[in-house]
Amino acid sequence: MPRKKEEPQKAAEIIEQPITETIIKNYMPYTMSVIVSRAIPAIDGFKPSHRKLLYTMYKMGLLHRERVKSATVVGETLRLNPHGNDAVYQTLVRLTRAHEALLHPFVDSKGSFGKHYSSDMDCAAMRYTEVKLDKICEEIFRGIEKNAVDFVENYDNTTVEPTLLPTAFPNVLVSPNIGVAVGMASSICSFNLAEVCDGAIALLKNPNLTAEDMLDIIKAPDFSTGAFLIYDREKLLQIYRTGQGSVRLRSRWVYDKKNNCIEIVQIPYSTTIELILKRIAALVKDGKLKEISDFRDEIDINGFRLTIDLRRDTDPEKLMAKLFKHTPLEDSFDCNFNILVDGVPRQMGIVEILHEWIRFRMGCLRRELEFELDELRKKLHLLLGLSKILLDIDLAIRIIRDTKTEAEVVPNLMEGFGIDKEQAEFVAEIRLRNLNREYILNRTREIESLRNEISELESILASEEKIKKIIISQLLEIKKKFGQPRKTQLLMPEDIKEFDEEEYIEDYGVRVVLTREGYFKKVTFASLRGNDEHKLKEGDEIIAELDTTNTAELIFFSDKAQAYKAKASEFEPTKASALGDFLPAKLGLDDGERIIAMQAYQKDSPLDKNFVIIFENGKGVRVPASAYETKSNRRKLTGAYSDASPVVAIYYEDEPFDLLLISSQKKGILINTELIPQKSTRTSVGVQLFTLRSGHKLIAAVRDLSSYPSAEKCRKRKIPAAGVAIDELDAEKQQIKLN
């Protein structure tokens, strides 16, 4: 039988879709899901993962029970948060007391949970550790059984979970939270609970408080790792007003004089001990921390400790100033108070956050009171029906006894006493032993007290001020029960000894050498005594050799009209027999760029000093040294001099000196640099110094006249000037040299 011919497959149809439609349909739902359901905390201070975990523990009864295995909690939490065991366990770890990430942990823990200040210290497996809810969670869940917040179905509609937790204090400012969503992020630092309660109370009493007022109450952020916060009122005000900014944190340390070592006992919240050790190790390896003989992590059961052993005669204050400058022992915490309010992310300052929390808390409390009021009204309604039975108990018994069927009992009671169905059901459910006058009288005596309670609740619900008073009393109670002194102490800027690198630079005489191929050497005078013959690459030669000090500033000029600044101390001392540092790599020169001149000067030199620049076209200019000053530590300066003509020589003029200019005609003029006009602009083309004939150029500008005894006959008092023949000029010896 012949095979049926297969039909050719049709090419997949391509449907064009505008990019905007793709973003709206595919990207935006994902974006909003990450923002709302994962990364950004809500006004209760929790992300969804935190909320689901804590609520699961609450429903397990772990607020008042003994600890259970973490694995049990993780397994139960998966009913609300199906993101895998490890993700849920890591969320649990961060909330524990043992992890030390929170000022007020929500989970009382037993076992090893790692540490917030260490990235290498892992937690034990969940089957080994045990947890329960900490006592402060009573305030987190206060009123949750009284309809204080909304509940929604979980992901598979098998149970319900709260949309928010009815926190009785502004947990959003007490618990730190960091999250990265899509297109936005949140970074909320923690504040002291007692201060936050005081701030909320003050705002409840006076809604018109400003950020300045709040800063006087809530002094500054407070972190679980302690350390010092460098107090900058203006920066803190910016955070309090806008919710954005940063604070500087500095480690706490003590000096052990007996063992000559420094002990770091608290570090910034934003770093880890591994980052600090890695940075110290790199500095020691580079020879920039010669004061340290050893350093080690000594974290133990007693807590955090990093020990640094010092060499003899090391000043611990100066060393710590240096470490604060170059390591994460001083770090910053970036604040970005993005918070979900009614499902919408908002960046808010402290006062605005507290206003929103107060609005949220008043809503929770109002719902609690309405729930209680409804329960009291239901109870009063039943007792009013019971009070009618008191008028004729015998009739109630007779009605029940004479009723033929159970279904007719409630209707007959309703008809016999004029009560509704709920009241009749309540009476019918009373046990036979309680159908006596004493029981009924005792129950109906509650009617008056119930009416008073209902009246009081209605009065509270009708008054916003009374609701605020309840919140204030709750905050005062929480402050008394859970308030604790600040862990992060404030450090005033005037009490800080800033690191001044100049203080740590050893000052000694050096000779700096530059070669045409771009090699640089810094040789000590002591080293030169043994051998002053410089090793050079084949074909290379020295173009600049200066005697200066290790504290000097160096400026290198390139053939592309750029200058590069460096400090002599940045280069390691070497021997004359070594090649030295390769400047194009060291300074980061552009491709094909080479250094043609070098000068050294002291940073504290008077600003009236100049750079003398001589060009090939016979022109020259004096540029103030101040024109090369930079406010930052910028290395590269573009437009260092005019590129209209090639440079012949560049000198640093601390005082006027004689300069012999030599042309390609073997003629020269000797002038004092005072004759050269000063221009304030670095790129000035200068003025004509040497009158050159067509086709000729300057080939050298010589400061050391020892090789030119006849130079004096070339002296000129005015410029421009024509050249005079130089007797000693040797064409083979005198090349274009840049000094």
The whole-angstrom separation of Cα 397 and Cα 268 is 76
- Dihedral angle computed from the Cα positions of residues 730, 736, 738 and 739, in that order, rounded to the nearest 10 degrees: 0
CB contact at 8 A, 371 and 364 = no
| Terminal-residue alpha carbon distance, the chain | 99
* Distance (Å, whole) CA 460 – CA 123: 48
The Cα 42–Cα 19 span in angstroms is: 32
CA atoms of 386 and 424, how far apart (whole Å): 8
User: Which residue is catalytic, options 128, 255, 564, 628?
Assistant: 128
What b/e sequence results for 670-687 when a residue is b if at least 16 CB atoms lie within 10 Å of its CB, and e otherwise?
Answer: bbebebbeebeebbbbbe
Ranges of H-type helices in 141-217: 171-174, 193-205, 211-217
Owner of token pair 């990450």:
34
Q: Which of 128, 59, 53, 63 is nearest to 83 (CA)?
A: 53
Residue 349: burial class (beta carbons within 10 Å; 0-12, 13-18, 19+): buried
Distance between CA atoms of residues 351 and 29, nearest Å: 32
The rounded distance, in Å, linking the Cα atoms of 32 and 70 is 31
Only one residue has tokens 């023949």, namely 725
Measuring CA to CA, which residue among 304, 247, 695, 283 is closest to residue 488? Answer: 247
Helix (H/G/I), strand (E/B), else coil: 707: coil
Contact present, 618 and 691 (Cβ < 8 Å):
yes
Q: Which long-range contacts (CB under 8 A, 24 or more apart) does 278-287 make?
A: 279/326, 279/327, 279/328, 280/308, 280/323, 280/327, 283/326, 283/327, 287/572
Is residue 128 among the annotated active site residues?
A: yes
Residue 335: strand, helix, or coil: strand
Please list, residue by residue across 482-511, b when 16 or more beta carbons sit within 10 angstroms of its beta carbon and e when fewer do: bbeebbbbebeeeeeeebeeeebbeeeebb
Alpha helices in 462-534 (DSSP H): 464-482, 501-504, 525-530
282's enclosing H/E stretch is helix 273-285
Beta strands in 198-329 (DSSP E): 228-230, 244-250, 252-256, 261-266, 292-297, 306-310
Show which residues are catalytic. 128
